[in-house]
Chains A and B, each alone.
Chain A
């Protein structure tokens, strides 16, 4: 047998690596995809439900504050419409736009969207959460399913497209969640995730100073406006809503979001420091209501929404601003 030349050996070696990698990528990627699609519990189950199965009339969008603060059953009972809580930890407007656009693309258009807004929906986030990276990471397994989600993923440019060619890449760092979502039952109620524990009785309401150096993220505002436009074009009644915090603060991002709401004639439901909720017993921590607080809060919001959506009264209770 003739001896291979060095360049032939290098080429053969590279070819072997590419072929083996492709086979492994498709096979292992397929297994991970199965595990993801068949998730029974937790975030992946909820995400898959939102992206493919939900035909609910009221959608709650937002971050962990949405997931832990809104009990859909209360909204259904009060308003008479099916409701699902699509809130997800560490996500911002990109993810919420991706979720809503999947409903619109498949034709299951909701009637009402409650968007739990946060400062991070308008300002630059430097960490791993509340940014485009967080949304891309979460939605990567659904690459190729919806145009708007694909366009979100490709905001990162051609390099992300190259990476997404790998099926396995889409499941980067998701093994723990996949195990949990398939094997560890996680209680949830139409997307609502209860949290327990409360602040101590002696916790005082603190005045938090504004964060310095906050910068408005223009791209986030573009997506906020896209979401507003999508709602208008599809006759979806959109509400911006701020659930309670057990601290007093203002922020640049919220000011901008209020301006956007005003400009687009979107009701802005501000419960941020509504006095009825300013009790430590309702809070798990400064930013999250506990289960007791969430039930109370959902009741108040649902009854106000019922009046707005069904009875259309003049609001005088001071909760709507």
Chain B
């Protein structure tokens, strides 16, 4: 059941209505867990077995700690992390590792037929595996008490708005909310609906529309010139943002209608002034997860510069691998790490140069230039992210320099421009005038309602309403 389907809208309305009609909080949670498992089983009932395994293992591990920092607890932690990672490694990476071994053996002149498993990737497995690992680590580090109520814990892992693609919730933030009874509040429902509507807008009007052009041009890149490929790269950069930020907003909004606050996942990432800042604004729940459970345990920045750079590169290599089982994703992650290392290593040098030309850090010119450079770097790296293999990366890179008029599909470009301009204005306002309350957030009731309906009709007229998949479902 995709978020951008009529089935989901009906499902959500029914769930919210019944949820608030149930007076007892425990029964509410049983109901929510039931519908969450139903929601997840819509993809494939068999996937539930993995979800149960991850839930029970992490729940049991946390209860099994003595919480005295003993070696036993450490062994338990390591064992549980390895076991929790097993389904993920098996379903997502088995073929990749198998092919990689085959490639390496071929390199040393030994050709063998490696087995191919072609396992179906369970939706959301990367997300709930990370949630459960985060939980067992947090309990081990005594940042959070072990949850004794299996119902609450199962709901924390399986809560339907976030199960398919996050946000990757944290126990200290979400578990206490599950224990409270949330009364029906107009503000929660209104805020949740507005977030969802905006999520649908960015996904259906901007993201999916851009996707048509991107797939047409990148899918046939050898026949397109530089201007078309640059335009496709730009549109893919917008598409992936809209696709995932849209998804996250729908998830957060759906939870909000029932009174739950999920972690904010995006903060206008393309206004970042460097790649490091980009990652503090992009997929925040994942970035902070990697920060807390990979980067900091490796030593973080409280070590020598060289070690810090290495930690950064390792973290982004893992992040690349998390995104997909392919060399292109690993290189994509590696390049993101390298760009940040170069940025950090040259910052004093660059500051001196800026000082010589008497342009200070806060000048508009420098900010805009940094935003632009960051956007260009990130866009190029997104192209690598999109590419199926390195020959495609090289092919597109070479053809960036082939001159010619861009391929323009009038309908696609027309609707994309409309959606993109609305998105740009909203993000500019949120970034630079955060205190202003306009349109959907106006103080005037009439303006709020009319804006809501206007946005709804922009979606109906300009959106791709066929129920296309979300890019991040692949991860």
Interface residues of A (CB under 8 A from B): 6-7, 9-10, 13, 16-17, 20-21, 24-25, 28, 128, 133, 159, 162-163, 166, 168-169, 171-173, 175-177
CA distance A171 to B20 in the complex (A): 36
A169 lies within 8 A of B465 (CB): yes
The 8 A CB mask of B449-475 against A (1 = contact, 0 = none) is: 110110011001111111000000000
Are A168 and B411 also in contact (CB < 8 A) when A6-B184, A20-B450 are? no
A177 lies within 8 A of B457 (CB): no
A13 lies within 8 A of B190 (CB): yes
Most A Cβ at <10 Å: residue of B5, B212, B465: B465
Chain B stretch 325-341: residues in CB contact (< 8 A) with chain A: none
Secondary structure class of chain A's binding surface, majority of residues: helix
A176 lies within 8 A of B6 (CB): no
B464 lies within 8 A of A9 (CB): no
CA distance A17 to B20 in the complex (A): 20
Chain B residues near A24: list those with CB within 8 A.
453, 457
CA distance A162 to B464 in the complex (A): 16
Secondary structure class of chain B's binding surface, majority of residues: helix
Chain A residues near B414: list those with CB within 8 A.
175-176
A9 lies within 8 A of B186 (CB): yes
Interface residues of B (CB under 8 A from A): 5-7, 20, 183-186, 189-190, 212, 410-411, 414-415, 449-450, 452-453, 456-457, 460-466
Chain B residues near A7: list those with CB within 8 A.
20, 184
Chain A residues near B183: list those with CB within 8 A.
6
Chain B residues near A20: list those with CB within 8 A.
449-450, 453
Q: Which of A10, A16, A21, A172 is close to B456, meaning CB atoms less than 8 Å apart?
A: A21
Chain A residues near B212: list those with CB within 8 A.
128
**How many Å from the CB of B129 to the closest CB on chain A?**
31
Chain A residues near B186: list those with CB within 8 A.
6, 9-10, 13
Q: Which residue of the partner chain A has the closest CB to B6? A: A159
Known: A169-B465, A175-B461, A176-B410. 8 other contacts (CB 8 A): A10-B186, A20-B453, A21-B457, A133-B466, A168-B457, A172-B463, A173-B415, A175-B462
CA distance A10 to B288 in the complex (A): 35
Q: Which of A9, A17, A159, A177 is close to B7, meaning CB atoms less than 8 Å apart?
A: A159
CA distance A133 to B453 in the complex (A): 26
Q: Which residue of the partner chain B has the closest CB to A22? A: B453
Chain A residues near B457: list those with CB within 8 A.
21, 24-25, 28, 168
Q: Which residue of the partner chain A has the closest CB to B411? A: A176
Chain B residues near A16: list those with CB within 8 A.
449
B411 lies within 8 A of A172 (CB): no
Chain A residues near B449: list those with CB within 8 A.
13, 16-17, 20
Q: Which residue of the partner chain B has the closest CB to A175? A: B461
Chain B residues near A166: list those with CB within 8 A.
460
B6 lies within 8 A of A162 (CB): yes
A171 lies within 8 A of B452 (CB): no
Chain A residues near B461: list those with CB within 8 A.
168, 171-173, 175
Identify 8 residue pairs between A and B in the complex whose beta-carbon atoms are under 8 Å apart, listed by A's number: A10-B186, A20-B453, A24-B453, A128-B212, A166-B460, A173-B464, A175-B415, A176-B411
Q: Which residue of the partner chain B has the closest CB to A9? A: B186
Q: Which residue of the partner chain A has the closest CB to B462? A: A173
**How many Å from the CB of B24 to the closest CB on chain A?**
18
CA distance A169 to B459 in the complex (A): 9
Q: Which of A6, A17, A159, A163 is close to B453, meaning CB atoms less than 8 Å apart?
A: A17
Chain B residues near A21: list those with CB within 8 A.
453, 456-457
A169 lies within 8 A of B450 (CB): no
CA distance A9 to B415 in the complex (A): 35
Chain A residues near B410: list those with CB within 8 A.
176
CA distance A133 to B415 in the complex (A): 19
Chain A residues near B462: list those with CB within 8 A.
172-173, 175
CA distance A20 to B456 in the complex (A): 11
B7 lies within 8 A of A172 (CB): no
B190 lies within 8 A of A163 (CB): no
Q: Which residue of the partner chain A has the closest CB to B452? A: A17
Most A Cβ at <10 Å: residue of B186, B190, B410: B186
CA distance A166 to B453 in the complex (A): 13
Q: Which residue of the partner chain A has the closest CB to B409? A: A176
Chain A residues near B190: list those with CB within 8 A.
13
